[in-house]
Amino acid sequence: MTKNKIEFHSSFFTLGKKCKQSLLSLKKKVLMSAAFVFAAVSSAFAQGNGIGGITEATNMVTSYFDPGTKLIYAIGAVVGLIGGIKVYNKFV
DSSP string, 9-22: HHHHHHHHHHHHHH
* Model pTM score: 0.40
Of the listed ranges 2-11, 60-69, 80-89, the least confidently predicted one is 2-11
Positive or negative, the CA dihedral 55, 58, 60, 63 is negative
E-strand spans in 1-92? none
- For residues 92 and 90, give the distance between their C-alpha atoms in angstroms, rounded to a whole number: 6
- Domain ranges (residues) in the chain: 1-48, 51-92
CA dihedral 11, 17, 21, 26 (to 10 degrees): 80
Residue 79 has pLDDT above 90, yes or no: yes
